[in-house]
Amino acid sequence: MESVTEPVKRAESGGGGTPGLAFDFGENWDHYSRTVLDEPRLTAAIDSLAGLIGPDRLAGASFCDVGSGSGLFTIAAGKLGVARALGFDVNPTGVEVAHRNLERFAPELAGRIAFRQGSALDAGFVGTLGRFDVVYAWGSLHHSGSMWPAIETVAPLVAPGGVFVLALYNRHWTSPIWTLIKILYNLSPGILRKLWDWGLGSLMLLATWAITRSNPLRKERGMEFWVDVTDWLGGYPYEYASVEEVRARLGALGFDLLEVRPPRVPTGCNEFILRRRAA
């Protein structure tokens, strides 16, 4: 497996969006990994990955994690027995954090797991990565700044007959309002962002409870509510898609939609399981 030996360089988040406003996901992943991530959360991530993709599809497979963030799900795939896993992210801090998490939680997997810095929009980079049985792009490509070109660029990573797992923000009438909130958040100085986190986060907590009637603090995928609030408010560039848009666009790229899991709240992420046609 490849490993990153050269120092990671800071890169642009790439693509569209308003220049200069890109959110630093790496900083949020660093905070999450230092203050929240522990063995039970890793176990929750492993369970969620197995529940979404199925342990049979993962055992012995090759796995690519596109926009790997903290590296949590690349490591989870390793724990579920993939033969090799590659996580890549445009954010250099995220890549550093992922290396740290690998060393901390799964040093025994270091020979089978690699992390690299690179962009899903960089066809030259993506073209060097090869093919994978499972490509997992959870919550990343809608933050690339050019969601559909990013999807088109990484789709060839999926081997014929392989599985493409995508999580993308659902298109909703409030989606343009979220774009505005994220722009304002990223324009705000640090202290004001804390107020946004606290104020809008509390509203989101209440709204999530009102819609789902379940405890919003009990987080899935090993995440944590207040870390997610910062990600939701700050996560820009931001795009979204309806289920039908994904079915049509991915169909044209040679994928069949096998399953869609809707979000708990209407503006959350749809989870798509797609299979690349053999021919």
Ligand X SMILES: C[S@@+](CC[C@H](N)C(=O)[O-])C[C@H]1O[C@@H](n2cnc3c(N)ncnc32)[C@H](O)[C@@H]1O
State the residues that interact with ligand X by CB under 6 A.
13-14, 25, 67-69, 72-73, 89-91, 94, 119-121, 138-140, 143-144, 150, 231, 235
> Distances from the Cα of 209 to the Cαs of 35, 44, 170, 206, in angstroms?
25, 21, 19, 5
Smallest gap from residue 228 Cβ to ligand X (A): 9
Name the residue nearer to ligand X (CB basis): 191 or 197: 197
- Quote the tokens at residue 174: 């409030």
* CA–CA separation, 189 and 37 (whole Å): 27
> Distances from the Cα of 122 to the Cαs of 71, 73, 115, 234, in angstroms?
20, 22, 16, 23
Smallest gap from residue 235 Cβ to ligand X (A): 6
Half-sphere exposure of 65 (CA within 13 A, CB side): 29
Smallest gap from residue 197 Cβ to ligand X (A): 16
- Cβ 59 vs Cβ 83: under 8 Å: no
* CA–CA separation, 47 and 3 (whole Å): 27
DSSP run (H or E) holding 31: helix 25-35
β-sheet with 132-138: strand ranges across: 113-117, 84-89, 62-66, 132-138, 158-169, 269-276, 255-261
Smallest gap from residue 241 Cβ to ligand X (A): 15
Smallest gap from residue 74 Cβ to ligand X (A): 9
> What are the E-state strand segments in the chain?
62-66, 84-89, 113-117, 132-138, 158-169, 255-261, 269-276
Name the residue nearer to ligand X (CB basis): 27 or 54: 27
Smallest gap from residue 277 Cβ to ligand X (A): 25
